[in-house]
Structure 1
């Protein structure tokens, strides 16, 4: 999408992360969030914008379209963004995955009529998904602090670099808009449709976020777990899973971890009030609300 155009994506990324890791083993609550005070304010802002502007549009989109149409739109944009994955597979020194991604892109572009259909999946070609944040991770760059950005959503100090790099160098939409002179903002239409379609997909998972004791913490942990699974192609090593779950800790007590999480957040949130939509519901013992 054009690098200058962004929607508020905090709820979107959280809900997509929930869908992506549903059924996976989950991590104990995290307390390594030194930017929490700033992040919570940005989350509240993004959440408000989403509720007032983005979600109503996504709901309207679902009302005027049927599942086959929405699936075709999703297929089209997934295939259009495949060059981002291919480029990063090359940067990660993974030629096999880059070749598979290139094959998938070409098959869907031709046999799939521009990517509207997905014959590549029926042919058994894997659907990879990576970005520059994962590229940096594979080359040993540490994750850094969790960061919530206005009108963008959750990221980390490492992952934030995927926004300018992938958007400017690898996204076909960027080259389309930079090499053609459109009038009246017409070049924004594909990006708007792409983001609305993503937001519409996430509506079905909203109950996970709304029932969380602390939606911000839910989002933060869901995002980080989602990125971890993506780093390991959905199959983290056993020792990574154990560390993520806290199973490697002697005397592991999930209830105690959850209680410590709540106490730490209250202590470090400068007296901020409990989230407005935290209806007293607590997450299952030892979870962050996803999995």
Structure 2
């Protein structure tokens, strides 16, 4: 009963979020490939994010090392609890094969992978079909909107950011998962970002510290990768060292 009540209470916010997305994600002017009307504010957030990165990982990322066995466990668990949401987005996109694959991954890893800390589904050939509500909006024709840099979360767009919000509201994990998966979902997501930051710290540091304009470089890399993921840019143009850190929903 409480679960159903929680769903009913969330529905108005889902619809409000969706309509806010449609009105907020304005298309870029003709001929503009990088739409960044909030650049001044974005650059301030970028400097904050750089300071946070350096505080956690240090210059070059050599100060922090997470044991591989712990890192794999954290990433596996965080990836597994995202599967119900990805399966739902697959259905919303009309991609039933991806939806079924992600649903099967969740069942296999939750049942036989000790709640998801082991990734047995990949060994069985069930590869993760990564997606999110931002991609769902893109398929539905919602424009990319302006570029954003979010505190801690990093590069995004209006559409991708709105997709994150809606994903959090429609995530069916509470209905299909175990209680401990829901209880630790936020902590696992944060822990995964820390793990990815540790693993990719050297590459990210080279972009943030060695670029003449790290903000512009990061913006270009993110947009190229995101557009490639959505099928709107040629493969040879998409090389993103942030893919693992910022490419996940």
Decide: shared fold, TM above 0.5: yes
Instruction: Tell me what 2:147 maps to.
Output: 146
Greater helix fraction, Structure 1 or Structure 2: 2
- The alpha-carbon deviation at position 111 of structure 1 amounts to 2.1
Query: What is the deviation of 1:290?
Result: 8.8
Structure 2 partner of 1:106: 107
Q: CA separation of 1:129/1:188 partners in 2, compared to 1, >3 Å: closer, same or farther?
A: closer
In 2, are the aligned partners of 1:76 and 1:116 still within 8 Å (CA)? yes
Contact 2:62–2:202 under 8 Å retained in 1 = no
Q: Which residue, out of 55, 58, 63, partners 2:57?
A: 55
Alpha-carbon deviations, 1:39-88, whole Å to 9, x = none?
11111122223323x436x97762xx421221122111111111121111
Structure 1: how far apart are the matches of 2:228 and 2:35? 19
Contact 1:74-1:194 at 8 Å conserved across structures: yes
Residue 72 of structure 1 corresponds to: 73
2:40 is the alignment partner of 1:42: no
Q: Residue 73 of structure 1 contacts residue 116 of structure 1 at CA under 8 Å; is this kept in 2?
A: yes
Q: How does 1:172-187 map to 2 (within 5 A)?
A: 172=173
8 A Cα contact 2:222 2:242, kept in partner:
no
Q: In 2, distance between residues paired with 1:288 and 1:198? A: 14
Equivalent residue for 1:137?
A: 138
Contact 1:89/1:130 (CA < 8 Å) preserved in 2? Answer: yes
Secondary structure of 2:115's counterpart equals: coil
- Deviations 1:121-167 (CA, angstroms, capped at 9, x unpaired): 11111211111111100111111111122343221121111221112
- Report the equivalent of 2:229: 230
Q: 1:39, 1:148 within 8 Å by CA — same for their partners in 2? A: yes
Aligned CA distance change for structure 1 residues 290 and 103 (closer, same or farther; 3 Å): closer
TM-score (norm 2): 0.69
- Who is 1:156 aligned against? 157
**C-alpha separation between the residues in 1 aligned to 2:63 and 2:74?**
15
Larger Rg belongs to: 1
More displaced stretch, 31-40 vs 75-84: 31-40
- CA distance change for structure 1 residues 49 and 207 in 2, over 3 Å: closer, same or farther? closer
> Which fold has the larger relative contact order, with Cα–Cα distance below 8 Å and residues 6 or more apart in sequence?
1
Structure 1 residue 31 displacement after superposition? 4.9
Q: TM-score, normalised by structure 1?
A: 0.60
Contact map agreement 2:109 2:118 (CA 8 A) in 1:
yes
In angstroms, what is the RMSD of aligned CA positions?
Answer: 3.4
Equivalent residue, structure 2, for 1:92: 93
Structure 1 runs not aligned, ≥5 long: 1-29, 181-185, 246-286
Q: Alpha carbons of 1:188 and 1:102: their partners in 2 closer, same or farther (altered >3 Å)? A: closer
Structure 2 Cα separation of the partners of residues 136 and 289 of structure 1 = 25
Structure 2 stretches lacking a partner, 5+ long: 1-32, 244-249
**Partners of 1:115 and 1:82 in 2: how far apart?**
10
